[in-house]
Structures are given as C-alpha cells and as structure tokens.
Amino acid sequence: MKKLVFILLLFVFTGTLLAEDGSQLWLRLSGGKNADVSCNLNNATTEIAIKELKEHWYGNTPVQLVFSKAKELTRLGEGSFVIRRSSGSDPVRIEASTKQGLLYGAYHLLRLQQMGQAEGEMDVVETPRYQLRVLNHWDNLDRSVERGYAGKSLWEWESLPGKISPRYEAYARANASIGINGTVVNNVNASPQILSASYLEKVKVLADIFRPYGIKTYLSINFSTPAELGGLSTSDPTDKAVQRWWKDKVKEIYQLIPDFGGFLVKANSEGLPGPQDFGRTHADGANMLADALKPYKGIVMWRAFVYNPGDEDRANQAYQEFMPFDGQFRDNVIIQVKNGPVDFQPREPFSPLFGAMKKTPVMAEFQITQEYLGFSNHMAYLAPMWKECLDSDTYQQGKGSTVAKVTDGSIYNQKITAIAGVTNIGTDINWCGHHLAQANWYAFGRLAWNYKLTSEAIAREWINQTFGSTTNNPTNTAGSFSSFRDALTEMLLESREAVVEYMMPLGLHHLFAWGHHYGPEPWCDIPGARPDWMPSYYHKADSKGIGFDRSSTGSNAAAQYHSPLSEEFGNLSTCPENLILWFHHVPWDYKMKNGKTLWEELCYTYDRGVQKARSFQKIWDQQEKTIDTERFLEIQNKLKIQMRDAVWWKDACLLYFQEFSGMPIPVDIERPVHNLDVMKKFRLDIGNHENALEKDLFMK
Ligand code: GCW
C-alpha cells in the first residue's frame, strides 16, 4: 500500500514537473539560488529587477545594479544599459541611466544565462532602436478580439477595477523582458465608451500594474466620442466646444494615469468616423488631439490605413491621401503605416509612404496576429517577414535608406520614433493559441529593440528559453537539445515562405474567403458587395493571364516608389518575381527566369509550399523524445491542420486558375485531391474552425 502511495505521489510530482502548458512563455526560469543582488536605486521598477535576478540568476558572482548618470549612459538614451564583468570571478555590473534600463539589463542578463553566454568576461552595450515599442490590442469591450485567435481579451472589463487577474502582471513582465514599453489596450475600431469615467477607472488599474514594468498605456479613440459620449451636437475638430471636450477628457485621463501615453486613431477608414465627415482633413483631426495631449507630453499615433471603393487602386490611396499633409502635423503626431500598401498580406512590397513623408514622423505597424497567415493554426514565424520590410531600401535619401532607417531617426530628424505590432495574445493558456506563435510576440519585441538581430538569432534565443532546460545549462536530459533546436530553427525560418507559397505566391494577394480570412476563395463573388473586398479585384485572372497591372499601363502604383524602384517594379522584366503578380498582369505562358512558364511556376510554387508543410510534420515527429509530451502533441496536431489547409489552398487556387489558363498541371507535382465544385461549397464556421474543417473539408 505504502509503495503504491509512493508511486502515485511520484507520478503526481513528476507529472507536475513535466507539465508544460506554455503559460510561462519564454520565461520558464526556475527558482535560483537566492543570488546576491544589490542596487543603488530603490523604486518599484528596480525592485522587480532585483527580485528577478535574486530568484533566477545562477551565476556564482553577485550582480550589481548601478543607476548612474555617467555621460556614456545618458548618451545611449532611455532604456539603454551596459553589462560588464572583467573576469568570471568578478561581480556582474548592470549600469543604466534610467530605471527601465536596469530592468531591461536584468532581463538581458537572464537571457544570456539561458543562452549559456553569461560566463567569464562580459562587455555588452544595448540600446533600443525605437523609442516606443508598442503592442496594439484589437480587443473589444465585450472581450471579443478582432482578428484574435487565442481566446478572449485578457482584460476582464466586467470585473475591473475590483478584481485583478494575475495575468495582467504576467503580461507586463513578458513584455518588459523583451523591451516592449507601450500598449494600446483597446481596438482601433474603438467604442466611445472606452473614454467614459467608468472605463477609465478600469484602464487606470491596468496602467498601474504595467507602470513598474516600464510600460505606458495608450487608448484607441473613436473620433465621434464628443458627440456619442459627450452629448455634443458635433465632433468637428474645428469646433471650439469639441476642442474643449477633448482637452477636458485628456485632463481627466492624466489625473488618473499621470504617464498616459496618448491616443491611437483609426479615422475615416472602413466606415469609422473621422475629420472628413466634417469636411476637415486628417491633419486637422490629428492636430486637434495633439494639442489636447501636448501639455502632458502625450502623443497621437494616427493611422494611414485608409481606402475607399472607387476607381482608384486601393494600394495607391494611403499615399495619395497622406502625402499632401507632409509637414502639417504637430510634432507630437506620428503616422502609423502598415508594412504594405494593402493590408498585412502574406507578401506585399513595403508601403511607399515609408521615407516619402520626410517632414512627419512615420512608424511601421506590423501584424503579429495571423489574420492572413492561417490564424493560430499555421506555424508562420514572422521575423523574416518584418525584416523583409525593415530592410527594404526606399532609396528616398539615396541607397541604403531602408524602411528601418527612415523610421528610426537615423536619416530624418524624427522627434518620436516608434514601431507597433498588433498582438496575437488572448486568454488561451498558452497566450497565443499556437505554442510556436509565441515566437512572434517575442520576435516583435526583440526586433523593435534591435532590428539588426537576425531572424535566426531571435529564433534560437526563443527556443532556448521556451524549450530548453530552466537552469543555465540549455540542454535537456532526453535526446539532444541542440539537434532539436537546429530542427525547430529550420522549421521556423522556412515557415513564412511556405505559407506564402501554398497560399499566395508570386505577389498574389487577398484570395481569401468572404467572411473570414482563413481559407481560399479566389472565385468569391458576392452580388452587391464592395468590389475592393473581392478576390477578383486583386488577382484579375482571365484567359490572357493573371495579376494586377500596377505599371504605367495600369494603376501606376509602381510610380509611388522612388527611383530606381519605380522603374524596377514597373517593368515586367525587372520586377522581382516574388512580387510579379502584385505589379503586373502576366500572360500565362510568360517565361520566368528559370525557363518555366508563369503557369508552371505557379503550380510548382504551390506544390513546394505543400511539400514544405509536409516536411515540417516529418521534422517535428522526430522530436518526440526531446521535449515534453504536451507541447509535442499540441504542435503535432497544429502541423496536421496546417498540412491539410496547405493542400486545400493549393487545390483551390490551382483548379480555379486553371479554368482561365486552360493549361495542364505539370505531371510531376501532386494531383489535386479536392474537387473544385465541392470546395466552392465549403463554408467555414469561423467560431470553431478546427471542427468545422474536420466536418466540412474532410468528412464530405
Ligand atoms: O485588415 C483589416 C482587418 C480589420 C482591421 C483593419 C484595420 C481593426 O480585417 O479587422 O480592423 O484591417 O487595420 O483597421
């Protein structure tokens, strides 16, 4: 009997030890040795730094946190830090001129420890490339999350301000560990209610929790709030009463949240109200809010995501609308621009607004949540996609004017520099729906801090911390951790391109189904619906060819880019092939650089994407012994769904486009397994897509 109890207890105990539900993210730091940590500054932020190091630093030497206004440190700027140790037996010194810098230094030291790089001599100097590194939550007040695939909103509005979820602090800690220092807690499709007194009380509680972690709170606002919530007869930004209303509201906010960051605004976009409703401009609207925020050092992040149905190419519209206002915005306004000119598609060229606005600060908005990349079902590691944008040369100030450099203040004298990511976080136990999607939250933070880091280096860091042992030795007992890390790194690095290939290769975009952005529906045609929301608006397939002519014979979007890009994109023979159908309507029998026809290339590329998805499964299946069973199985299951979807995408797109090309699918690629007529009838119950997929796609 005793023996049985013992075995049972052992089972329970090891079971608990091995339980890995992903909730600890990359912070699976285990209890340390109560390290010797000292600090010459005492406040809530340094207390956190001390606690983290005390609990998780395994090194045998003490750690000294040193707040100092030494020239070298102040020159580095807010959030920067140095970590120094002359030899392995000396104490580690983390020095910074701000409390945030000390906190970031502490997390960085722990990261180095997890990477096995915190031994011996150390000389690390770290400084963030962007001042503001901000998450955007598209979270609604009813706790639904627009384009969220990881459960409900973290913010329990119904029980705030009274009840405080432990997840608020866990969220702040995770963000601080990767340098994120701002969060916009509500959806850009904003409810006026967020500015009501009762909601502001709730927001204050969140802000108080985030503050010690160096995170400022921002809000998305609805431009009609003065009328809708304030009862005014208008929300016209030139109206004195409206201006007064915003000034009073801002004052009320700062009384509750003294370090409030400011407003994020989606205006005159997708049906939302804005200054144009009153015959005013984006500059009028942004400046009115900027004036209200100015006395408190608050800022306005004004989005450039605007487009209307009509004759003008959607890709051209943001540039046309915003360029005339360059230089007319107040100095506490920054224009927030999506990475591409259309909308977070698997591959887009960078937005031509980057670098073109020379007298107005511009910031990039990336999408961490995978609205157009398979939701939380597909593995798509997005660091390569974001770097592709950041590393793109705009040529606006000569060669080397990359998107990164025209937004980080190194080329233009921007007073504010910032970068934003639309989060993939929700109430799911593993935060992001897919264990591997945590890598995107992590990568966003790390790139916002230093976009020079390689996608591979970030992946390796993330894997070590997320799957490695919790002590300073990053090896697991079962199997070989380093071969696991190599295998997963390879999968992650290939994953985004695989998604592009099986969904929308060669510059195709927006082939998504009506009602959701998950599956393919290139044939979609809803009578009476907005034409610019239909796939055919983007692919323009006909018997001659496929693709959107954005050259001088078409919408001329290529001309919005600076030379030599305008010529390069605008000319079929020089346009990069991975964007060829973005910029050109290309004949089916057009000869690609490798000698294949466009049609053949399309077929082979879709097939390659499918093969990659299959290879991910094969690689993953070999990892069973290396990591915990829970995460192994959950990821295995996701990879299965991804594989099925990849085949679905390939079959749907190739069979549909074949109706136009009239050409055979090359004999050496996999034959379609679905029938086009049947696929056209698929309906996805988006609330429960996994089951719907089983039911609709595979049981029929
Ligand atoms: O991509 C579209 C999304 C909308 C989103 C919009 C935007 C928040 O489908 O859900 O609305 O972009 O970025 O404003």
Quick: pLDDT tens for 78-120.
999 999 999 989 999 999 999 999 999 999 999 999 999 999 9
Mean pLDDT across 602-611: 98
How high is the pLDDT of residue 2?
54
Question: Considering the chain, what is the average pLDDT of its residues?
Answer: 94
Amino acid at 492: L
CA of 439 to the centre of ligand 1 (A): 22
- The residue contributing the CA closest to ligand 1 atom 11 is 189
Amino acid at 50: I
Candidate of 139, 189, 512 to mutate for ligand 1, largest count of ligand atoms within 8 Å of Cβ: 189
Give per-residue pLDDT as tens, 561-578: 999 999 999 999 999 999
CA of 300 to the centre of ligand 1 (A): 19
Q: Contact 109/78 with Cβ under 8 angstroms?
A: no
Q: Is the pLDDT of residue 17 over 50?
A: no
Q: Is the pLDDT of residue 699 over 50?
A: no
Q: Is the pLDDT of residue 688 over 70?
A: no
Candidate of 343, 367, 373, 509 to mutate for ligand 1, largest count of ligand atoms within 8 Å of Cβ: 343
Instruction: Answer whether 343 contacts ligand 1 (Cβ < 6 A).
Output: yes
How many of the other CB atoms lie within 10 Å of CB of 559? 18
Q: Is the pLDDT of residue 689 over 60?
A: no
Q: Is the pLDDT of residue 516 over 60?
A: yes
Q: Is the pLDDT of residue 14 over 70?
A: no
Q: Which atom of ligand 1 is the closest one to the Cα of 338?
A: 13
Mean pLDDT across 479-499: 94
Q: Is the pLDDT of residue 356 over 70?
A: yes
Structure letter (DSSP) for residue 670: P
Instruction: Answer whether 305 contacts ligand 1 (Cβ < 6 A).
Output: yes
- The residue contributing the CA closest to ligand 1 atom 12 is 343
Q: Contact 549/584 with Cβ under 8 angstroms?
A: yes
Instruction: Answer whether 138 contacts ligand 1 (Cβ < 6 A).
Output: yes
* DSSP three-state, residue 422: strand
Q: Which of the two residues, 409 and 471, has the higher pLDDT score?
A: 409
Identify the burial level of 184 via C-beta atoms within 10 angstroms of its C-beta, where 0-12 means exposed, 13-18 middle and 19 or more buried: buried
Mean pLDDT across 230-246: 98
Instruction: Answer whether 322 contacts ligand 1 (Cβ < 6 A).
Output: no
How high is the pLDDT of residue 683?
80
How high is the pLDDT of residue 11?
44
Give per-residue pLDDT as tens, 130-172: 999 999 999 999 999 999 999 999 999 999 999 999 999 999 9
How high is the pLDDT of residue 59?
84
**What is the spatial distance between Cα 320 and Cα 57, in angstroms, rounded to a whole number?**
53
Give how far Cα 201 sits from Cα of 252, 256, 371, Å: 10, 7, 31
With bands split at pLDDT 50, 70 and 90, how would you rate the model's confidence at 57? very high
How high is the pLDDT of residue 480?
85
Instruction: Answer whether 408 contacts ligand 1 (Cβ < 6 A).
Output: no
Q: Contact 422/406 with Cβ under 8 angstroms?
A: no
Q: Which atom of ligand 1 is the closest one to the Cα of 365?
A: 13
Instruction: Answer whether 395 contacts ligand 1 (Cβ < 6 A).
Output: no
Q: Which residues pair with 657 in a beta bridge?
A: none
CA of 123 to the centre of ligand 1 (A): 43
Name the residues annotated as catalytic.
Answer: 270, 343, 371
Instruction: Answer whether 518 contacts ligand 1 (Cβ < 6 A).
Output: no
Q: Is the pLDDT of residue 60 over 90?
A: no
Instruction: Answer whether 188 contacts ligand 1 (Cβ < 6 A).
Output: yes
With bands split at pLDDT 50, 70 and 90, how would you rate the model's confidence at 4? low
CA of 416 to the centre of ligand 1 (A): 25
With bands split at pLDDT 50, 70 and 90, how would you rate the model's confidence at 33? confident
How high is the pLDDT of residue 5?
52
With bands split at pLDDT 50, 70 and 90, how would you rate the model's confidence at 277? very high
Q: Is the pLDDT of residue 469 over 90?
A: no
CA of 695 to the centre of ligand 1 (A): 28
**What is the spatial distance between Cα 486 and Cα 309, in angstroms, rounded to a whole number?**
47
With bands split at pLDDT 50, 70 and 90, how would you rate the model's confidence at 18? low
With bands split at pLDDT 50, 70 and 90, how would you rate the model's confidence at 19? confident
Instruction: Answer whether 512 contacts ligand 1 (Cβ < 6 A).
Output: no
How high is the pLDDT of residue 685?
67
Give per-residue pLDDT as tens, 410-431: 999 999 999 999 999 999 999 9
Q: Is the pLDDT of residue 474 over 70?
A: no
CA of 457 to the centre of ligand 1 (A): 31
CA of 302 to the centre of ligand 1 (A): 15
DSSP string, 357-417: --SS-EEEEEE-S-TTTTTTTS----HHHHHHHHT-B--BTBTT-BHHHHHSSSSS--S--
Q: Which atom of ligand 1 is the closest one to the Cα of 344?
A: 1
Amino acid at 536: S
Mean pLDDT across 203-229: 98
Instruction: Answer whether 569 contacts ligand 1 (Cβ < 6 A).
Output: no
Give per-residue pLDDT as tens, 490-509: 999 999 999 999 999 999 99
How high is the pLDDT of residue 693?
42
